[in-house]
Amino acid sequence: MDFEYSPRTKEYVERLEDFMQAHILPANARFHELASQGIYPLEVLEPLKARAFEAGLWNLFMPELEEDDPGTRMTNLEYAPMAEVMGRVPWCSEVFNCSAPDTGNMEILKRFATPEQKARWLDPLMIGEIRSVVGLTEPDTASSDLTNLSTTILPDGDHYVINGRKWFSTGAKHPNAKLSIVFGVSDRSEDADPHRKHSFILVPMDTPGVEVVRDVPIMHHHAPEGHCEVVYRNVRVPRDAMLGQAGDGFMLAQARLGPGRIHHCMRTIGQCELALELMCERAMERKTFGKMLADNANIQDWIAQSRMEIDAARLLMLQTAWKMDRDGAKAARVDVSMIKVTAARLQTQVVDRAMQVFGAAGMTPDTPLSYLWTWGRAMRFLDGPDEVHMRVVARSELKNAKSRHGANAAHFVAPH
Touching a copy of itself, residues 267-286 (CB under 8 A): 274, 276-278, 280-281, 283-284, 286
Q: Which residue lies nearer to a copy of itself by CB, 52 or 274? A: 274
* Terminal-residue alpha carbon distance, the chain: 45
Minimum distance from residue 115 beta carbon to a copy of itself (Å): 36
Minimum distance from residue 279 beta carbon to a copy of itself (Å): 9
User: Can you name the residues that pair with 132 across neighbouring β-strands?
Assistant: 179
Minimum distance from residue 261 beta carbon to a copy of itself (Å): 15
Virtual torsion, Cα 242, 244, 245, 251, nearest 10 deg? -120
Q: Which residue lies nearer to a copy of itself by CB, 243 or 341? A: 341
Q: Which stretch binds a copy of itself (CB under 8 A): 62-70, 178-186, 238-246, 393-401?
A: 393-401
Q: Which residues of 90-105 are buried (b: 16+ CB within 10 A; e: fewer)?
A: bbbbbbbbbbbbbbbb
- Which ranges in 7-148 belong to alpha helices (H)? 7-19, 25-36, 42-54, 76-87, 102-112, 115-117, 123-126
Q: Which positions from 128 through 187 interact with a copy of itself, judged by CB under 8 A? A: 137, 139, 142-145, 148, 167-168
Q: Which stretch binds a copy of itself (CB under 8 A): 43-51, 248-256, 257-265, 368-376?
A: 368-376
Q: Which stretch binds a copy of itself (CB under 8 A): 61-69, 196-204, 250-258, 362-370?
A: 362-370
Minimum distance from residue 239 beta carbon to a copy of itself (Å): 32
Minimum distance from residue 14 beta carbon to a copy of itself (Å): 16
Tell me, by CB under 8 A, how many residues bind a copy of itself. 114
Q: Which residue lies nearer to a copy of itself by CB, 129 or 281? A: 281
The DSSP call for residue 364 is S
Interatomic CA distance for residues 316 and 327, integer angstroms: 16
Please, are residues 223 and 374 in contact by the beta-carbon 8 Å criterion? no
**Could you tell me how many residues make up the chain?**
416
Q: Which positions from 223 through 242 interact with a copy of itself, judged by CB under 8 A? A: 229
Minimum distance from residue 152 beta carbon to a copy of itself (Å): 20
Instruction: Report the half-sphere exposure of 90 (CA within 13 A, side-chain side).
Output: 20
Minimum distance from residue 148 beta carbon to a copy of itself (Å): 7
Virtual torsion, Cα 27, 28, 34, 37, nearest 10 deg? -170
Q: Which positions from 60 through 89 interact with a copy of itself, judged by CB under 8 A? A: 88-89
Q: Where are the beta strands (DSSP E) in 171-262?
A: 177-185, 198-204, 210-215, 227-238, 242-243
Residue 364 is a binding residue for a copy of itself (CB under 8 A) = yes
Q: Choose which of 13, 23, 28, 53 interacts with a copy of itself (CB under 8 A).
A: 28
Q: Choose which of 199, 370, 376, 383 interacts with a copy of itself (CB under 8 A).
A: 370
User: Can you name the residues that pair with 218 across neighbouring β-strands?
Assistant: 221
Residue 36 is a binding residue for a copy of itself (CB under 8 A) = yes
Residue 367 is a binding residue for a copy of itself (CB under 8 A) = yes
Sign of CA dihedral 375, 376, 380, 383: positive
Q: Choose which of 237, 313, 336, 350 interacts with a copy of itself (CB under 8 A).
A: 313
